[in-house]
Amino acid sequence: MNPLEDLKDIFSLISTYQTGKNTLILDHDISIQLNYLTNNHFSKFSNDTNINKVIWFDDKNFNIDNYNDNDDNSINSIVFLLNLNSESNFEKLIKLSTIMKFIRSNNNNNINKNIHLITANPSFNKSVEKFISVNGILGDLTSFHNWNSLLYFQLSQNLFSLESSNDAEFKNLFLNNSTLPLELLAKSLLNLYISSNYKLRITNTYLKGIKSIQFWKIYNRLLNSYLQTLPDNKRKIIDDLDETIFMDVHSFYNSSTDLICLDRSVDIISLLLTQLSYSGLCNELFNTSNQLDYLIFNDNDNNEIKINLNDSNDNIYPQIEYLNFSHVGPILNKLAKNLQFEFDKRKNLKDINEMKNFVSELNNLKNSQSWVQKHTSLAECIINKFNEGSLNQYTNIPLLDNDNDNESIGNLSLQSYYSQLIELQQDIISNQMNLNTIFNKISNLLNLFDPSIDDIIKLIILVSITKNGIKESDFNSLNQELINKYGLFNISPILLNLQKLKLIQLNNNNNQPFWSSLSESVLTPSDNQLIMNFNILNKSLNLLPLHDEKNDSSKNSNDLADKYVDADFGYPGYVPIFTRLIQSIYDRSFLNETNPTSIPPQTSSSRAIKYGWNNLNLDQLYGPTKQDFLIPESKKKLFNSIIPPKISELNSNNHETSSTIIICVIGGLTWSELATIKYVLSANKFTKHKKLIVLTTGMITGSQMINSLKSPT
């Protein structure tokens, strides 16, 4: 059943206990989900469910007396709607227990009211029920309901994200070692398998990172438990599908499903660099937690504009969301000119039929025009943000002399903040500067501009990873500048947590800052950051490719493969490790530049080779790597000496093939990573027609990672 209809049915059951209206005590954690399900029309939902008043359950300024409704005798029901898919379950239940005691102990009209509890997706239903029973809550409730809400949001076509909070997600997974996101992700994958009528039968797995291994074990446990409950007719469907998939080589290649599961710890680098895709910039610069949020900004005329990037009426965003930002402007200009040309046709209408045809298309033209205007304003706002912070805006800072010592600084001062930030990121990952020079440049950013604490911390993490740790003696001076600018209590928890995770590793000496008790004497492997030597890994996977730029922004094609030479367009010249690992399963052409003897790229007449991760140099990526071919025992002989079919012989129409790639990312995926993943799969003739499903614990940015670590506990 639809989750919204399921919730309405629960309220219908509640209405059988009384005839009056409901006061809804609403958990903030569930508000985004309700907005999504109601298409931002909560008032209609309130009317349908007889809700007269809404009070925030987790409001810090909440006054317990708000539960009293002495002046409104028509309200005779209190409904608690809580999301227990979070690490704060215990705190929420304790607060609920306190509120219930207050309601029942006070002699007021509430004593006669019905009180109902609705919990959304509790992961441990029996534990929740036991808690509310032991604490006396269950006996005070008129009714208790479990709402089978969404496990995930569909952010765009075949992109699914858990409803958990991104700001807490990274810490919960990697610092607190919570298994809850893994459970929810596994449940989500199982739901997708069931809703596909069992066609998403996973035939190959590629797992990197300890959490990916854990996730796969959890999924198999849930899958086996589910399969045991199926009646014979359902089991027959699954057996018949298995027989079809493994009938012969062609059936297998046209119906197989690859699961690629990666930990965020595989590539922290992507969280530390500035995203350059349109969707990535929107996410970073406007600090949205996901595409369900509204972007709110002012255009050049200072008019406030709201835009929802998940709006189904927006026919422009799907054309530009995964492009490098430099390609967005020309496309918007071209679309605007084409629309103007279509509107101008009305001047040359000759007869009534032409007028009718024009009128019938008018609404579509106006809709497209509206979205072109919105995205043009948004693109201009992004440009303005990138141009902010040039030195000449800071009149209180004297101009630097152009002597030899200050020449480079003087040149940098003419650039905007983001220009310097991106240039410094590129210098760090290309290993072009020593540590002292890097720290001096970071110090210049601190002194010349007003950078966010997130940007500076990301640079320090980047230095630690690419330089195999940092000497404390080199870092002390910069650390003091950070404390002076941002405050001791803002900096210390972040640095402590980053050291616990080994995202920053300080090579210890006698001069210890107070927070450095966890410092490491040498760079040590970590489950939270798998890169052992970035410079060697960069060369083995060609993460910083050198090539001529392709300039096809004017081309009438939405195919990413027509616009770029390599997958470095989503970041400043960097190909995400996620992207290279996924690409390497199906294609090794990216190694040509660094290894002339590597396998050449596929052509339409070549065979559908699936390399997997065999013979790929992953020595510099710590943690378990696992790949399996999940074939029934009875079919193993058929695939012992398999010769892949030619790509041209396979079904190339998405409607004719169920061949699928499922990519699961544990710990969050960035929009620019997604753009580059789509590029490498669309550039390969074997994978370009496969269905792609992306499932992640959340779309994330580096700032969200840092924010999750700002609390000391």
Query: What's the pLDDT tens digit per position in 197-244?
Result: 999 999 999 999 999 999 999 999 999 999 999 999 999 999 999 999
pLDDT 10s digits, 133-180: 887 788 888 898 888 787 788 888 899 998 665 667 788 889 888 888
What is the C-alpha to C-alpha distance for residues 547 and 566, in angstroms, rounded to an integer?
8
pTM, two decimals, is 0.85
Q: Are strands 294-298 and 51-56 parallel, antiparallel or unpaired?
A: unpaired
Nearest to 612 by CA among 580, 588, 640, 584: 584
Domain with residues 3-150, CATH architecture: 3-Layer(aba) Sandwich (3.40)
Give me the sign of the Cα torsion angle 349, 352, 357, 359: positive
pLDDT in the model for residue 380 = 93
Q: Tell me what the mean pLDDT of segment 372-377 comes to.
A: 93
Task: Please give the backbone phi and psi of residue 702, each rounded to the nearest 5 degrees, phi first.
Answer: -65, -35
Q: Which of 10-19, 188-197, 654-663 has the lowest mean pLDDT?
A: 654-663
What is the C-alpha to C-alpha distance for residues 522 and 471, in angstroms, rounded to an integer?
10
pLDDT 10s digits, 264-305: 999 999 999 999 999 999 999 987 766 677 888 888 888 899
What is the C-alpha to C-alpha distance for residues 674 and 143, in angstroms, rounded to an integer?
44
What is the C-alpha to C-alpha distance for residues 200 and 207, in angstroms, rounded to an integer?
17
Domain boundaries defined on the chain: 3-150
pLDDT in the model for residue 495 = 94
User: Residue 546 is inside which H or E element, if any?
Assistant: none
Q: Where are the beta strands (DSSP E) in 339-475?
A: 470-471
Q: Tell me what the mean pLDDT of segment 311-340 comes to.
A: 91
pLDDT in the model for residue 65 = 56
CA dihedral defined by 563, 566, 567, 573, rounded to 10 degrees? -110
Nearest to 666 by CA among 289, 269, 179, 264: 264
Nearest to 274 by CA among 309, 325, 328, 308: 325
Mean pLDDT over each residue of the chain, to the nearest integer: 83
> Is residue 409 helix, strand or coil?
helix
Residue 438 in contact with residue 290, Cβ under 8 Å? no
Which are the contacts of 271, defined by CB distance < 8 A and separation ≥ 6?
Answer: 264, 458, 670, 700, 701, 702, 705
pLDDT in the model for residue 518 = 42
What is the C-alpha to C-alpha distance for residues 591 and 613, in angstroms, rounded to an integer?
13
Return the axis-axis angle of helices 472-486 and 453-466, rounded to nearest 10°.
170
What is the C-alpha to C-alpha distance for residues 318 and 423, in angstroms, rounded to an integer?
30
pLDDT in the model for residue 430 = 94
User: What is the percentage of the chain residues whose pLDDT exceeds 90?
Assistant: 47
What is the C-alpha to C-alpha distance for residues 204 and 506, in angstroms, rounded to an integer?
40
DSSP conformational letter for 173: I
Residue 568 in contact with residue 538, Cβ under 8 Å? no
